[in-house]
Amino acid sequence: MVTLNVLMFLCALTALSRAAGASKETNIEETFYEAEAGNWTDPADVKNEPEAEEAAPQATNDLFKSSCPAGWSQFNRRCFIYIPRTMTWAAAQRNCVSLQATLASVHSFQEYQNIQRVITTATHGSPNTWIGGSDAQEEGLWLWSDGSPFLYTNWCPGEPNNNINQHCIQMNDGGSRCWDDMGCHQYRPSVCAKNI
């Protein structure tokens, strides 16, 4: 009842202000005391946040800004896409760059599982696939093509072994679907990634 009277008072005050030629905005404090089982909310504890109708357009805009292009899958503020066409590692990287992306870097086990899911969804299998790791510049110094730190690894047992100049990473090797260093001239499908 008290809240209804306060709202009616504010509506009447707003109507009078507009009728008197006041600007569209009023300087009325919109903090209310709420009575609930004898508790009163201190006005200092009440946040004046925009109404849901005012917040909705911003939330919608944020949703569009954070979504991936059609055909891409989102995980942790990055978008991933499986490229089925087989190419050399360098051609696959160049293809990703043409999509404003790079070959995918991997930063956690969860992210690796997500990339595997992207591949499995597209192929219904787990083919050996290029990702963005390479030690072509210096043997044993693995770098991601996107420049991010190389902190997470998922090497198969005995890998990387640099058997006959193997400088690029293929994922999904063997039954455990781990990483293997491979000759960069081999043809593989690939996964591209880009930040949102």
pLDDT digits 0-9 by tens, 64-99: 455 899 999 999 999 999 999 999 999 999 999 999
Q: What is the pLDDT of residues 110-133, one digit of tens each?
A: 999 999 999 999 999 999 999 999
Which two three-digit tokens encode residue 25?
Answer: 């905005």
Q: From start to end of 19-177, where are the E strands?
A: 35-36, 39-40, 73-75, 78-87, 102-103, 129-134, 143-144, 168-173
Domains of the chain: 80-195 (3.10.100.10)
Higher pLDDT, 28 or 128: 128
Q: Which of 65-74, 157-166, 184-193 has the lowest mean pLDDT?
A: 65-74
* Sequence-ordered alpha helix ranges (H) in 80-128: 89-98, 109-123
pLDDT at residue number 66: 56
Non-local (6+) Cβ contacts of 122 within 8 A are 82, 84
Tokens of 30: 């919109």
Q: What is the pTM of this model?
A: 0.66
Q: Considering the chain, what is the average pLDDT of its residues? A: 77
Residues contacting residue 194 through CB under 8 Å, at least 6 positions apart:
78, 79, 99, 100, 101, 102
Tokens 């990387």 appear where? 160
**The token pair that represents 165 in the structure block:** 């100049």
- Answer for the pair 102, 146: CB distance below 8 angstroms, yes or no: yes
User: Facing residues of 35 across strands?
Assistant: 40
pLDDT digits (tens, 9 = 90+) for 58-67: 444 444 455 8
C-alpha distances in angstroms, 30 versus 11, 25, 49?
12, 12, 10
The whole-number pLDDT of residue 93 equals: 98
Which pLDDT band holds residue 46 (cuts at 50, 70, 90)?
very low
- The residues near 2 (Cβ < 8 Å, ≥ 6 apart) are 35
